[in-house]
Amino acid sequence: MTNKHNMRIIVWILLILSMLSLVSAIAGNNIVSEVREFTVNNLPIVRLVAPVNNTKWTSSFNINFRYNVSDAGDTLQNCSLYINDVWNASNESVIVQNQNLTINISLANGNYNWSVHCFDSYGSEGISETYNLTVEYLFLSINVVDALIDFGVCIPESGTGSWFDSNDTSKNGTGPGFCSGLSYPQNFTVENDGNMNANVTIQTDGLDLTGGTNPELWFATQNSTLRPGCFDGLKQSWVNFTDVDTEFVACEGLNSSDSYDRFWTFLRVFAPSDSEAGERNVTITFIAKAYD
């Protein structure tokens, strides 16, 4: 055998060996495999129900925000109400899909936007669209802060009777013409606790305050500060309650916007000389009406 034949055999063997190595390498790569699992997760779908978009809320400061949510195949974890893009409250009840849910909060008068964010068990967040809301709740409310005027023991003068004013400290004393309970000016302090200016009227349930011949009951009002709390209508001169069914204007336009929202009411009593001994009382009623 010549060297040429040897050369051919060697080359042929090397080629076969090279091919076998390549096949082996390819076959080895195909033997190794890996299985990967993945889950398609749906985001919660949140739908706002009420108040509808651009609602003007006028019935109270308390508002029920209603919505419903769905999330196919997933469990919902929690839902939260956002007011003006800031978290405000979360739903404390069990979240049932496709049923109306409610979050109740109170808001002051003003303009707001609101939305609801919900999370499922995978931590995926669904966000509703955003609705606008205006709260404009106006209400009347007055409070009598100092609700008692106590004259104490009063003794009318013989033959003429006596006048006793709740703001007249000179009448403090004992004996005819004096009352033992008037050591300081006493009044009804009427305060506006609503959020709209009010007209305040006053009435009484009866005039038989002291017994005797022709007893009388009068009232007068004034602002409790130098700055007017009442815009108009103050009865700074004494007014006689002549009819139990009559309402008298005590204050027009009682302020509601700041601390100057009070006025005072004083009482004047005429006790006839023939007044019978005993305790007498009378009920004074203040009524608030809308100020135009």
Which of 135, 160, 192 terminates a domain? The answer is: 135
- Concatenating the DSSP letter of every residue in 215-259 gives -EEEEEEEESSSS-SEEE----S-EE---TT--EEEEEEE--SSS
Establish if 213 belongs to a structural domain. yes
Instruction: Tally the residues of the chain.
Output: 292
Cis, peptide link before residue 228, omega less than 30° from 0: no
Mean pLDDT of 117-129: 92
Domain boundary among 135, 165, 182: 135
Structure tokens at 131: 């609705």
pLDDT of residue 171 exceeding 70, the answer is yes
The domain boundary, picked from 135, 163, 180, lies at: 135
Provide the CATH number for the domain around residue 107. Answer: 2.60.40.10
Is the pTM of the predicted complex or chain greater than 0.75? no
The CA distance from 217 to 204, in Å, is 9
Same-domain check for residues 151 and 266 = yes
Query: Do the domain assignments include residue 169?
Result: yes
- The 10 Å Cβ neighbour count of residue 222 is 16
Nearest-5° Cα angle at 138, 136 to 142: 155
118, 191: one domain: no
Same domain? 105 vs 129: yes
More reliable by pLDDT, 113 or 95: 113
pLDDT exceeding 90 applies to what percent of the chain?
58
Whether residue 131 is found in the same domain as residue 158: no
Based on the fold, state whether residues 108 and 128 are members of the same structural domain. yes
Joined together, the tokens standing for residue 235 give: 């009865």
Residue 61, pLDDT above cutoff 60: yes
- Specify whether 120 is located in the same domain as 172: no
Q: Which domain, by its residues, includes 253?
A: 142-290
Mean pLDDT on 109-138: 94
pLDDT tens, residue by residue, 231-242: 888 998 999 987
pLDDT digits (tens, 9 = 90+) for 223-275: 987 778 898 889 989 999 876 668 899 999 999 887 788 999 999 999 999 98
